[in-house]
Chains A and B, each alone.
Chain A
Amino acid sequence: MPNAIPAIELKGISKSFGPVQANRDINISVPKGTIHGIIGENGAGKSTLMSILYGFYKADAGEILINGTLTAIPDSQSAIRAGIGMVFQHFKLVQNFTVLENVILGVEDGPLLKSSLSKARRVLADLSREYELDVNPDALIEDLSVGHQQRVEILKALYRQADILILDEPTGVLTPDEADHLFRILKGLKDQGKTIILITHKLREIMEATDNVSVMRRGTMVGNVKTAETSPEQLAELMVGRKVLLEVEKGTATPGEIVLKVENLRVRDEAGVERLKGISFELRKGEILGIAGVAGNGQSELLAALGGIHAASGRVTFKGGDLPLTGAGANGRARRDAGIGHIPEDRQSLGLIMDFTAWENMAFGYHTLPKYQKNLFEMDNNAIRQDTEAKMAMYDVRPPIPTLAAKNFSGGNQQKIVVAREIESDPEVLLVGQPTRGVDIGAIEFIHKEIIALRDAGKAILLVSVELDEILSLSDRIAVMFDGQIMGFKDPENTNERELGLLMAGVSGGAAK
């Protein structure tokens, strides 16, 4: 251990929200100058714990010791004074400010900005040199890539003289290359004596970057181990509380005839910018085509166009007939009637009405089906409720209460509701976007099995995911998207993360079209 007094020590932290105990008697000790991983499923209490450390919540019980001294952190100002910096999953940057302006925001030296700005410019130059954190200080945030925006967040924390840096799911939006770069930066910070807490659900990152790891499950700390002395399998088991199959079991595909043919598909957004620049591919029965790419490179638009949500141009042939891409015929219901199901990327804003009950959501998009009608005017709410009960049992949705509002289910169970609804409607083609985003490991395993079962039943699946692991383990073919185009098709058996990562960054491989 580099230093006897730990940088952070949490003793007996407990916090409950109403009847839900989010943190129960948490003890954790983070030695100075180390990278400490905190891993756990969604809802395990990681974010609550970090919010307590950063002063967003007040713990019901327990003590926080920073560098050995008992410290009260009633708000984030105190956290910053105590030397804690936080990089949130969703960046807190002013888009139309420059890097410098964002860095000094809230810590200006006086009413006139000039001296603050020139001081910040000097400090930033030093920091960039020291930690490989190069960003143009005069660039506008909106012009920066996501990876660079994240660096600005780190610079912001360092400028506030943070010695302890907390990063919440930092790689969710990065390419593998950018993630590697981030980890190099973190190692550099560690070598300079900074302490880093890395919150993530990706086991690979924990293994790669951390010195120690704490595992949380249902509000309690179930393990504190040295990373070198553990394995991904052991960590997964700790997280879930049972053995988990990290590898997806999948037989070989037996692709049949072409069911969906996309030719030169183009989409413009509201501002008139072309987001999809002529995409072409074929999808066969009984195969999973995975679309890899960094978020924001046209995958969402591809799903929206095929799902009938967004107007597009080009030609899409489904079972031999042309699908309307604009006008009244291009809507979610028409697509479902035709036999195209859609698990949307963002279940909370698209796939579910969060205030609706589970049973109302189970009919969402299918509410006009004859089986859900009592008579010409009225819906058969009882039939939908019964149907929902059956599907909840089949997909192990917990709690199995059809009258509970969607917002009161955990992320994984919300997703199971969407998956149950779309798969059980027996589509010919299923569009799947980020099926396991914000979903716990147990549910991921379940959802992956269901998708493969659908493929084995001879259906065609288009899978969009920013998780390369997911693309690699589920897909029978992989297409990589960058800047609204397909950079190339790869066989998952004969490729690797490095090769895909280059394509995702826009570097054409030999096989690109």
Chain B
Amino acid sequence: MSTLFLQQIANGLLDGVYYLLIALGLSLIFSLGGIVNLAHGAFYAIGAYLTVLLGPHIGFGGAMFVVPGLVAILGVLVERLLFQRFYRSDPILSLLLTFGLAMVAEQMLRMIFGAPPLSYSIPSWLRGQIFLGDFIYSRYRGTLILIAATCVLALWFLLNRTAFGRVVRAGVQNPDMVGALGIALPPYMMAVAAIGIGLAGLAGVLLAPIYSIHPAMGQEIITPAFVVVVIGGLGSFWGVVAAALLVGVVKGATIGLGYPQFATAVIYLMMLLVLLFRPRGLFGERIQRFE
């Protein structure tokens, strides 16, 4: 294998991380509440626009903390006012709701900020490149990967090593049993929505300096992120992580082999194969409620 091809594989691994923050939130909200949140991309877009709006005042570093918080608050509002009415209904209803919500959000961004894309640059203290032998990487992306990895580990810790996580995991498996044990699930649902949606906001902050910021940017990321969740398997934390990396690597390999024109099509092909041969997803767990 040529070093160029190896570089592409390595870059692919890193590329996959961008989907992670979005995909994890999607998966979390679905496993607990049964809501396929098609509006998840909209929160990512709102995160990016808030960065453009607040960045000049509080700096990029400030935006990294403030914006996900603001987006999470918005998430709580949406969860309280809308999502919670649909936890027990047919998933198709919440699908329609969030689909509509995504359109409303996109149109609002267009009305407030205009359709032309807005500019936002990497702050000067994060500009520059990292060279490892032949391999080139931008310092900004290096930082981005560290932040994403920290979030993933923190989330894993929260879900698997804390009392909060135990209730959430029990809620995923059997909400009625959790209720019977005298634990009120709604506050947990709200917290999960806040975390998942806050992560989408964080992704918006992190990607604003390197991607085009336009009203439809949410739509652009929701589909691949959803594909990652399907490939990884709903309800499986590491499944989603593995799928995001796998999608990145396969994309990188496709470009490395000289077929960049198939770089986006190939991830849908992967989803198709997974749905045909392992509908539960690569690492999907059996969830009683959805059987």
A, B: real partners? no
